[in-house]
Amino acid sequence: METIGFAAALVRLSHLVQRTFTEMSRRHELTPQQAQLLCLLIDGPARMSELSHALNLEKSSMTGLADRVQRRGLIARVTDEQDRRACLVELTRDGDRVARAVHEEVTAALEDLAAELEPRARVELISTVTRLIADSALAGVRR
pLDDT tens-digit series, residues 19-40: 999 999 999 999 999 999 999 9
Residue 8 identity: A
Q: Answer yes or no: pTM beyond 0.75.
A: yes
- What confidence score (pLDDT) does residue 1 get? 67
List of residues 6+ apart from 47 with CB closer than 8 A: 80, 86, 87, 88, 89
16 within 8 A of 113, measured Cβ to Cβ: yes
- What confidence score (pLDDT) does residue 85 get? 78
Q: For residues 66 and 77, give the distance between their C-alpha atoms in angstroms, rounded to a whole number.
A: 9
Percentage above 70 pLDDT, the chain: 95
74 within 8 A of 98, measured Cβ to Cβ: yes
Q: For residues 114 and 46, give the distance between their C-alpha atoms in angstroms, rounded to a whole number.
A: 31
pLDDT tens-digit series, residues 94-111: 999 999 999 999 999 999
Contacts 24+ apart (CB under 8 A), 15-19: 16/113, 17/110
Q: Where are the alpha helices (DSSP H) in 28-142?
A: 32-40, 48-55, 59-71, 93-113, 119-142
Q: For residues 143 and 137, give the distance between their C-alpha atoms in angstroms, rounded to a whole number.
A: 10
- What confidence score (pLDDT) does residue 84 get? 77
List of residues 6+ apart from 83 with CB closer than 8 A: none
Question: Does residue 52 carry a pLDDT above 50?
Answer: yes
To the nearest whole number, what is the mean pLDDT of the chain?
91
- What confidence score (pLDDT) does residue 140 get? 59
Mean pLDDT across 36-57: 94
